[in-house]
Structure 1
Amino acid sequence: MTRQGVAAALDAALFDDLVRRYAAMFGRDEAPWQAWLLANGPASPGAHDVLLSDGEADAAAIDRVAAAGAVLIETEREGGRWIDTVRSPMGTWVLDVQADDGNPHSPAFVAVLCAALSLHFPAHDALCIARAWQPGSTAWPGAFARFPRVRHAALASPDAPVRPFAPCPDLGLYVVLPSADWIERLVPLAVPTVQLRFKSDDPAAIQAEIARAASAARGSQSRLFINDHWRVAIDHHAACGGDSGIYGIHLGQEDLDEADLDAIRASGLRLGVSTHGYAEMLRVAAIGPSYLALGAIFPTTTKVMPTQPQGMGRFQSYVALMKPVIPSLVGIGGVNAGNMREVLAVGVGSAAVVRAVTEADDVAAAVAGLKGLFE
């Protein structure tokens, strides 16, 4: 059946070269992606269609594209910058970037965008890649200054830079643990970095776990991060006069919108944040966190992930982009003794594990073996 509509102009040679060059690194979607100018798009777009609008789309078009599970990118000019609103089944992102020319959807831009989508990047990350692409180049983009800034959901105004959080050194072996019992077991083994990821809705239980974990870490060689429960961690840290045993707080993307980042910064505690791709890394970079966790690199069963495993190809590209900006990086997600060396070889100074320790028959031996991989 013939599709209706007129496809957007695409640099076919560039598209073919990029897919051929990078498919082994990132993987390839066998279903072809197609870009269309919104006015000429098919009446019934599909999940592998991206509609490009020069300016704001009307509500009916937005609803039609959303109902089809397709991607809509609305582009407006603001001074010398492109403002892109990316709408996809994964949500809405608004990004802005310096304009290279006067064409919002040039054939080269469309080629890189469709290539990135074909390489399994989600739409908001594919847009970041396409805008950051150096004209005339076939090298994967790695210059941070060329990447877009996040306007929505922004954590800080790009025009009013915030004071960064206290920096972290390389964090070494980073073990994520479910309880204070585990923290008390691991700290005597001199694990460089531990995280308490205690899941509970009971305020008293949360306070008790954090107090026990902090007490275990106080005066030790282990840096203790508290996952999620940032307010309790700040209060406990303050009550101890800033000598609580708590080194920092770790937040996921879903926690950032609710956390009082100014309060965390004022407490003197470090801040680590989980990221799962380009747009999230760019969003978080604006607040200057102490470290970024990049993943999930490999399949993991310890939590439900918002994205598919990133794989080593993406992990390498993320490290190359972010290390000059945020030097302390942590590889996370499915890391174990068998793949730890591969992760560290990319250039990060830390890798996080869970089951490699918590499910070990001999915990002390497992910790010693993992620590040895950093030497």
Structure 2
Amino acid sequence: MRPLIATIRLDHLRHNYLLARAAHGGKTLAVLKANGYGHNAVRCAQALADIADGFAVACLEEALQLRAAGVAAPILLLEGVFEAAELAEVERHRLWLVVQSEGQLRMLEGANPAEPFRVWLMLDSGMHREGFLPQHYRAAWQRLRDSGKAESIVKMTHFARADEPGVPMTQAQIEVFDAATAGLPGEESVANSAGMLCHPRARRDWGRAGIVLYGANPLPAGYLQGDALKPVMRLSSRIFGVRELAAGEPVGYGSNFVTERQTRVGLIACGYADGYPRLASSGSPVAVDGRRSRIIGRVSMDMITVDLSDLPEAGIGSEVELWGDAVSINEVAAAAGSISYELLCNIKRAHFAFE
């Protein structure tokens, strides 16, 4: 088989969840949307089943996949429902749901469940993507309570810039949240991954651990020092071709890389069709048999060329780590002008191995 392997270390996943939960100090949902950020949501849920307080997904179909696999823990629908008909499935499968708009609120008011729903009511505290504006939030909360359709109401919001610790917007959003929800009973959920790690005022009843679960630090260098987080996915391939080029020779599409010296080039089985970012071309780090090197030339659809000039022992069959232990996914994302979230979610054609 094509030697592109995404190795998923489930023990690292458990380690990261426990670290995030301890940092938050309260109950914590493990966010498994987008197929567990590309890690296989079912396998991740099963690995966390005995320690997680619950899970969160984007939508109903993701929740139903987990229920079909036997996941019995609470599951929150972060986007809520899109049609009133979905509420029957929410009730049948004992799902929790976010209400973030007037339309969703009306759906609940018009529903006739045998038992009331567990609702998380979203406040727009400044991100302006979803949720009720502060001046409308209290009325929405009152309508939910008066409807009798909500067993409980968790007050929640979402941060726009929690991964930028020096930016005051997060503290401003917390203040907006506290003012808008003052005096309203019920639990609260404010912190995403970055909020859990470095914004103490955001640590409330429920945290929502997303990217931190998978071992990619959401914070800039200097925060969460050392080996606290462990990368869950290790993406690796192997060299299947080697050639020697003289100085002045182009490599790859567009000839945008030209050798400056005699260069030994390795060809590896991975490309943008596999989910590796095309823009992470010349200079993006890799590790060949554990030693760091770099990509040279453009990333092709299913092949990448790497520099073996200073690695005389490397050759056909040598392992190449694209990200994982020797190469941080954040480094690769920076080289591609992207973020670790996107890279992880895009891995599609690799063979997945679970440890």
| TM-score using structure 1 length | 0.37
Higher helix proportion, which one?
Answer: 1
Higher RCO structure (Cα 8 Å, ≥6 apart)? 2
